[in-house]
Structure 1
Amino acid sequence: MELTRRRALAGAAAIAAAPLVPSTAVKAAAPMADKQAPSYYRYKVGDIQVTVVSDGKNTSPLLDSFITNAKKEEVNAALEKAFLPRDVFTIYFAPLVINTGGKLVVIDTGNGPVANVNSKGAAGQFVANMIAAGFDPKAVDMVVISHFHGDHVNGLLASDGTPAFPNAEVLVPATEWKFWMDDGEMSRAPAGRMQGLFKNNRNIFEAGLKKQVTPYEWGKEVAPGLLAVESVGHTPGHTSYVLSSGSGKVFVQSDVTNNPNPFATNPGWHAFFDQDADVAEKTRRRVYDMVAAEKLQVQGFHYPFPGLGNVEKDGSGYRVIPAPWNPTI
Structure 2
Amino acid sequence: MPTRSFTPFTSAVHWPVGRQTFTSVSDGYYQTDLTVFPTFDRVVAGGLQRAANRSAEPRISHNVYVVRGPDHAPMLIDTGMGDGWGSTMGHLPWALSSIGVGADEVGTVLLTHLHLDHCAGLIDPDGTPRFPNAEVIVHAAEVDHWLGDDPEPPSDDDPPWAAAVTRQGAAAALAPYRDRLRTFDCEQLVAPGITAVPLTGHTPGHSGYRVGTGSDSILVVGDIVHVPAVQGPRPDASVIFDVDPDAAVDARRTLFDEADRGGFRIAGAHTEFPGVNLVRRVDDGYRLVPDLWVGSIDA
* Same fold (TM > 0.5): yes
Q: Is the 8 A contact 1:48 1:245 kept in 2?
A: no
Q: Is the 8 A contact 2:204 2:243 kept in 1?
A: yes
- Whole-angstrom CA distance in 2 between matches of 1:271 and 1:59: 14
Q: Please state if 1:44 is matched with 2:13.
A: no
The structure, 1 or 2, with the larger RCO (C-alpha pairs under 8 Å, 6+ apart) is 2
| TM-score between the two structures when normalised by the length of structure 2 | 0.89
Q: Is the 8 A contact 1:186 1:195 kept in 2?
A: no
Aligned-partner SS, 1:282: helix
Q: Report the AA paired with residue 144 of structure 1.
A: L
Aligned to 2:59: 90
Shift in alpha-carbon separation, 1:95–1:43, aligned structure 2, 3 A: same
- Whole-angstrom CA distance in 2 between matches of 1:237 and 1:246: 24
CA RMSD of aligned residues (A): 2.4
Aligned-partner SS, 2:230: helix
TM superposition shift of 1:129: 0.7
Aligned to 2:27: 55
Unaligned runs of 5+ in 1: 1-33
Q: Is the 8 A contact 1:46 1:246 kept in 2?
A: no
| TM-score between the two structures when normalised by the length of structure 1 | 0.81
Unaligned runs of 5+ in 2: 1-5
Q: Report the AA paired with residue 127 of structure 2.
A: G
Match of 1:242 among 187, 210, 215: 210
TM superposition shift of 1:61: 3.6
Q: Is the 8 A contact 1:227 1:241 kept in 2?
A: yes
Q: Please state if 1:220 is matched with 2:192.
A: no
Q: Which has the larger radius of gyration?
A: 1
- Whole-angstrom CA distance in 1 between matches of 2:33 and 2:118: 22
Q: Report the AA paired with residue 258 of structure 1.
A: H
Q: Is the 8 A contact 2:215 2:265 kept in 1?
A: no
Aligned to 1:157: 123
- Whole-angstrom CA distance in 2 between matches of 1:319 and 1:185: 39
The C-alpha deviation readout for 1:117-141, integer Å capped at 9, x for no partner, is xx22x11111111111110110111
- Whole-angstrom CA distance in 2 between matches of 1:144 and 1:186: 25
Aligned residues: 287
Once the two structures are overlaid, the 10-residue window that deviates more, 268-277 or 174-183, is 174-183
TM superposition shift of 1:327: 3.6
Aligned-partner SS, 1:73: helix
Q: Percent identity?
A: 28
Aligned to 1:125: 91
The C-alpha deviation readout for 1:238-288, integer Å capped at 9, x for no partner, is 001211169731111111111312111210112111110000001100111
The C-alpha deviation readout for 1:203-262, integer Å capped at 9, x for no partner, is 2223x2222212223211111011001100000000012111697311111111113121
Q: Report the AA paired with residue 144 of structure 2.
A: K
The C-alpha deviation readout for 1:152-172, integer Å capped at 9, x for no partner, is 001000122210100111111
Q: How does 1:104-253 map to 2 (within 5 A)?
A: 104-115=74-85, 119-120=86-87, 122-183=88-149, 192=158, 193=162, 197-206=166-175, 208-244=176-212, 248-253=216-221
Q: Is the 8 A contact 1:48 1:101 kept in 2?
A: yes
